[in-house]
Structure 1
Amino acid sequence: MDREHRNPSAATIPDASAHHHVTRQHAPRREPPFTMQSYIRAYWMDYLVMAAMGALGLGIYMLRPAPNRLFPIYFRDGEVVYPEFAYPLRKNIIPIWLAAFLAFTIPFVFFMLAQIRVRSFVDANAATMGVIMSLVTAAVFQVFLKWLIGGLRPHFYAVCKPVIDPSLANAGQGFSGIMVDRSVCTGDDKEINDALESFPSGHSTASWAGLLFLAYYLNGKLKVFANYRPQFWKLVLFFAPILGATLISASLTIDEYHHYYDVIGGSIIGSVVATATYRFQYASLFDYRFNHIPLPRITQTGFRYALGQGSDMEAEVHPATRKAGWGNPDDNVAGAPGDAMWGPAAGLESKLSSHMRQPHQELPI
């Protein structure tokens, strides 16, 4: 009996001088099979925290403004100090409930449309939970700022309805006695509370938290910014939710519900939270090889950013475009044609091994 048959394992032991010819094969790491029980076990804490955050945000929103803010109304000569707070009270062009509704519903509709091509519960769940997390986190952030910092809305004087004799305008506090507090107001108490909480804009926060998340999602699924030049409509579709968020935010300066700095502040909060939340749910923001791949919830199956060694998640979650590798057997679904993840893992390793055996040939990738 020859040596190989006496010791079968010996055939698998590589010679030290030829170690570069051998490619190690790793057993794929698989997530447990999906069941409702396993889903609840994996995500119950996330849902509990989101519910708690929502309750916290609603509770803070219902509170009376924290600071006893001082503000001037008249100079000593009877002239109004800040005309920018003297606009009339008007109805919102877009009510806050509608802004929040659109910030969730529009992304959710696109997530579901993408599943016509993607067909992945993992992706649909990651996107839906991601946009909810973004909206809830941004909302709590902005209501805290409204409660603790706030500011006067452009229609504050119209809501406050102050009763001050201009001849006694210097009877207040501060330099020349022109500073007063809300005790001079005779308007509706709830409207005054709202008019003291101008910064930051809740409309802007919600619209950017939801619609910018959608823009990131569209970029990942359509490969708008990849290693090839896609069709122009994809770029237009990428910017559409950004335009929507801008219009919702800017409308608040038309109906005089917010100042420009309230809008900018809310937009920054929503954008930062949307960016962080998308990266929290997906493997990358702008790396076209990975930015469509939802990250696994189980720590042991964490996504591996390695050449040709994507996790099983990659084989199940596709981009929504064939030119990015979807549905093309010659291209890996984890990236666009010709990128670093091109080719099935085993095939790519075979190409690498072949190239190492023939060092004078160019790498066929």
Structure 2
Amino acid sequence: MPRNGMAAGSSIPQPAQTGLSGALVRFYLRSFPAVDYIALGCIVAGWILIQLFVTPFHRMFSLDSKANQYPFAVVERVTVVWSIIYAGVVPFLIILLWAVTFRPTRYKVQVTLLGFLVAIMLTSLITDIIKNAVGRPRPDLISRCLPKKGTPEYSLIPWTVCTQTNQHILQEGWRSFPSGHSSFSFAGLGYLSFFSSGQMHVYRPRTDLCRFLVALIPFLCALLIAISRLEDYRHDVYDVTCGSVLGLLVAYFSYRRYYPSLQSAACDTPYDRTEAGVDGFSKLPGDEEQGRGFGPRDWRPDEETFQLQEVGPPRER
């Protein structure tokens, strides 16, 4: 029997919120996850604006730098289009196939796809913001730049010495950190791996190894995409590592916004929409507020009581 007379696991009723805060809460509950779609639209709009109007910061470089003398690969192992297909389209289709096969609730399909879209688009936005702000030269920068004759070889030079006429190739030479292929692949395929692990209860005790290997496949595919950027001399290990970690963190953040921990017994079930941000920063009730502390205890007739017996002084023997 619980000490305070309440059933174990029962929730504490919260007072109804009134006024403007209550109206906002009720609007949020009725519109969730429509509010997240609006936020996703803002992320997409921000990413498009960066692609159209933002140019990277151009760090100065030196022609004698071994780190920037690698050849420019005309044919990439994984192009931008194929990276979108591998890490964006394929996971999206796999989630749709799962929805058609197992027929989960509409809400579950909705938040799963929404979390996936947020993961890849938020990762793309953050990656491009960092790329343009840092302006780190790529390993193949000198091959892209085609510096004019007479450029000093042993001193730092600005980007204006370049004679490259293709502005896309030239400007991309200062977008090395972090690797966009790596961050995008680990965001999309990483989210798919987290989702698969939750649906198959991979981290449940004594789970068979086959489920773990199935959930590991997307991670391995993302790793191969990231490694291809090293083979094409588009990035170095530092760029690829940081991009991979960024994509993985955003994927896990987006997944956990809608699903509980992978160690949870209910990891395959998304949070209910009524649990989404209702309490905000309100104070959680403590033991005293639940009747366990100060004031007379609220005894109930069905609780078991004990009669204390009087204890006299011990008799001498």
Q: TM-score range by the shorter chain?
A: 0.7 to 0.9
Distance 1:263 1:23, change over 3 A: closer
The one of 154, 159, 163 equivalent to 2:148 is 163
Taking the aligned partners of 2:153 and 2:190, their CA distance within structure 1 comes to 47
Question: What pairs up with 1:1-365 in 2 under 5 angstroms?
Answer: 23=7, 41-73=31-63, 80-82=64-66, 84-115=68-99, 116-117=101-102, 119-165=104-150, 168-169=152-153, 178-188=155-165, 189-227=167-205, 229-284=206-261, 286-299=262-275
Using the TM superposition, give the Cα deviation of residue 243 of structure 1 relative to its aligned residue in structure 2, in angstroms.
0.3
Using the TM superposition, give the Cα deviation of residue 56 of structure 1 relative to its aligned residue in structure 2, in angstroms.
0.7
Letter aligned with residue 288 of structure 1: S
Taking the aligned partners of 2:172 and 2:241, their CA distance within structure 1 comes to 19
Distance 1:186 1:119, change over 3 A: same
Using the TM superposition, give the Cα deviation of residue 208 of structure 1 relative to its aligned residue in structure 2, in angstroms.
0.4
Structure having greater relative contact order (Cα 8 Å, sep ≥ 6)? 2
Letter aligned with residue 81 of structure 2: W
Which residue in 2 is equivalent to 1:77? Answer: none
TM-score (norm 1): 0.65
Which residue in 1 is equivalent to 2:24? Answer: none
Which residue in 2 is equivalent to 1:3? Answer: none
Using the TM superposition, give the Cα deviation of residue 302 of structure 1 relative to its aligned residue in structure 2, in angstroms.
7.3
SS of alignment partner, residue 72 of structure 1: coil
Taking the aligned partners of 2:189 and 2:212, their CA distance within structure 1 comes to 15
Which residue in 2 is equivalent to 1:318? Answer: none
Using the TM superposition, give the Cα deviation of residue 23 of structure 1 relative to its aligned residue in structure 2, in angstroms.
4.8
How many residue pairs are counted as aligned between the two chains? 265
Whether the 8 Å CA contact 1:145–1:199 is kept in 2: the answer is yes
Using the TM superposition, give the Cα deviation of residue 61 of structure 1 relative to its aligned residue in structure 2, in angstroms.
2.6
Using the TM superposition, give the Cα deviation of residue 19 of structure 1 relative to its aligned residue in structure 2, in angstroms.
8.3
Alignment identity in percent? 22
Using the TM superposition, give the Cα deviation of residue 39 of structure 1 relative to its aligned residue in structure 2, in angstroms.
9.8
TM-score (norm 2): 0.74
User: RMSD across aligned C-alpha pairs, in angstroms?
Assistant: 3.2
Letter aligned with residue 86 of structure 1: Y
Distance 1:19 1:151, change over 3 A: closer
Structure 2 unaligned runs (5+)?
14-27, 280-302, 305-317
SS of alignment partner, residue 32 of structure 2: helix
Using the TM superposition, give the Cα deviation of residue 299 of structure 1 relative to its aligned residue in structure 2, in angstroms.
4.0
Letter aligned with residue 115 of structure 2: G
Distance 1:302 1:121, change over 3 A: farther
